[in-house]
């Protein structure tokens, strides 16, 4: 009943006092989680009179007496008693009667709620309801979620920017490194980038073997190699270069990076992603210099157009020579980098520098990208929700992770709408 009152889920015709006067709820008040009346600072109109005060809610009106409110001055501020069953009249401690309205919930409302929230056998507890929900509710909610996700990512970029003493190029480097982990290895990549600063690497951008040695050495990939691999001339050269730069800058290798490579396709191994990062630095790290000037999808893709030659042009890792091809990143991977690097960096820079046109450009860029095709997105598309672009797919991911997985159906507009249609019954129960 508190949920019904808080979210105005009652039927308009139910808002009539038991004495017949019309009640208009101007403000339901603030939910009180402590002692005292259930809602503070409500505002209602009863007939021609407007009242401001508190609201008390009971399943039965007679609970007012059972709970001792009739003799408690703390409840003298109650201006309306909301009940499920009208089985008694109530009054303040001075004897003045308090207006009362009967707002019954359906008996099985808790079961309806539990059936949606606790339905672990279904990917979406509201899937059966989606077909009956007007599309405008879904589209409006996804639009809000899309902005919510972009802003959340941008805020993390801004926080990292402050942590890195206001260096935007260093910030882009760390954000890009994390994105190259593609979820599975995002944390190790980020920790590696923080321990191997870009401004140090840029001093050696004339030597690819030095850059690769620095990154692979800091990642721990030059340790415990099979003897046949460790004796390869290029591997020995990388190890020597790493020993030199680590000593020069006093670097210490991050502990327990815990790279994950089990049950992973070879093209997703972190080795080629690290080689791609080294190649970007070798080329002058264009993402750090050109990202803020990106206006189109094509320009964004050029930032990550990386070709691997030499040692890493034919390897997935140190022990594989399967000639995977020279493109370091697939088209799908580049799309992911635009979503997780270019868009949040543009938005964060635009917000922090007072340039809202960059925020708008970030959103426009996201809307121009093709929708992601993963399990989280397919959960909603299989339920009949259209996903025309990456902005919508990001909104679906936000909905899934922020609301569906933690079962926050009460805070989801779809779940709220579903409960709103089932929360109240049309015939008040009055026992005069």
For residue 212, the number of C-alpha atoms closer than 13 Å in the C-beta half-sphere is: 24
Does the residue 39 lie in any domain? yes
Residue pLDDT, tens place only, 106-136: 666 667 777 777 766 567 878 777 877 888 8
Of the candidates 278, 293, 431, the residue with the CA atom closest to the CA atom of residue 355:
293
Q: Number of folded domains in the chain?
A: 2
pLDDT at 34: 86
Does the residue 153 lie in any domain? no
Query: Considering the chain, what is the average pLDDT of its residues?
Result: 90
Tell me the residue range of the domain where 309 lies.
164-329
Single out the residue in 272, 296, 329 at which a domain terminates: 329
Length of the chain: 432
Q: Are 80 and 169 contained in the same domain? A: no
Q: Which residue has the higher pLDDT, 423 or 256?
A: 256
Tokens coding 210: 């030095």
CB atoms within 10 A of CB 144: 14
Residue pLDDT, tens place only, 228-285: 999 999 999 999 999 999 999 999 999 889 999 888 888 788 999 999 999 999 999 9
Single out the residue in 329, 348, 364 at which a domain terminates: 329
**Cα torsion 298, 299, 301, 302: sign:** positive
pLDDT at 426: 47
pLDDT at 57: 95
Residue pLDDT, tens place only, 74-114: 899 999 999 988 999 898 888 889 999 988 666 666 677 77
Single out the residue in 292, 312, 329 at which a domain terminates: 329
Does the residue 374 lie in any domain? no
Residue pLDDT, tens place only, 384-403: 899 999 999 999 999 999 99
Q: Are 201 and 290 contained in the same domain? A: yes
If pLDDT is split at 50, 70 and 90, which confidence band does 8 have?
confident
Q: Are 98 and 191 contained in the same domain? A: no
Does the residue 358 lie in any domain? no
């Amino acid at each position: 009943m508190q949920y019904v009152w808080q979210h105005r889920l009652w039927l308009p015709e139910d808002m009539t006092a038991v004495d017949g006067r019309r009640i208009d709820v101007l403000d339901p008040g603030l939910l009180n989680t402590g002692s005292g009346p259930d809602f503070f600072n409500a505002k209602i109109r009863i007939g021609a009179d407007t009242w401001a005060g508190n609201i008390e809610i009971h399943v039965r009106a007679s609970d007012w007496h059972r709970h001792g409110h009739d003799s408690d001055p703390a409840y003298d501020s109650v201006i309306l008693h909301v009940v499920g069953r009208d089985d008694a009249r109530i009054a303040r401690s001075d004897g003045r009667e308090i207006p009362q309205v009967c707002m019954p919930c359906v008996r099985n409302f808790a079961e309806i709620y539990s059936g949606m929230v606790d339905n672990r056998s279904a990917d979406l507890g509201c899937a059966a309801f989606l077909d009956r929900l007007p599309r405008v509710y879904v589209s409006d909610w996804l639009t809000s979620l899309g902005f919510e996700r972009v802003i959340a990512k941008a805020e993390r970029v801004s926080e990292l920017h402050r942590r890195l003493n206001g260096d935007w190029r260093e910030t882009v480097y760390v954000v890009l490194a994390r994105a190259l982990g593609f979820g599975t290895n995002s944390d190790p990549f980020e920790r590696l980038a923080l321990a191997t600063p870009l401004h140090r690497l840029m001093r050696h951008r004339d030597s690819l073997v030095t850059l690769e040695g620095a990154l692979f050495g800091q990642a721990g990939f030059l340790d415990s190699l099979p003897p046949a691999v460790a004796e390869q001339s290029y591997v020995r050269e990388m190890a020597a270069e790493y020993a030199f730069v680590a000593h020069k800058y006093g670097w210490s290798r991050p502990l327990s990076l815990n790279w994950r490579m089990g049950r992973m396709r070879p093209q997703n191994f972190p080795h080629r992603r690290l080689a791609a990062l080294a190649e970007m630095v070798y080329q002058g790290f264009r993402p750090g210099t050109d990202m803020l000037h990106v206006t189109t999808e094509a320009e964004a893709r050029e930032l990550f157009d990386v070709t691997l030659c030499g040692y890493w042009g034919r390897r997935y890792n140190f022990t594989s020579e399967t000639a995977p091809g020279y493109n370091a990143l697939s088209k799908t991977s580049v799309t992911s980098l635009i979503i997780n690097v270019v868009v949040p960096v543009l938005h964060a820079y635009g917000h922090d520098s007072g340039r809202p046109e960059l925020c708008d450009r970030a959103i426009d860029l996201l809307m121009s990208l093709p929708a992601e095709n993963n399990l989280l997105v397919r959960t909603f598309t299989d339920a009949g929700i259209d996903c025309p672009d990456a902005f919508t797919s990001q909104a679906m991911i936000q909905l899934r992770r922020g609301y569906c997985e933690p079962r926050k159906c009460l805070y989801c507009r779809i779940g709220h709408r579903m409960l709103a249609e089932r929360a109240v019954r049309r015939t008040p129960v009055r026992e005069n």
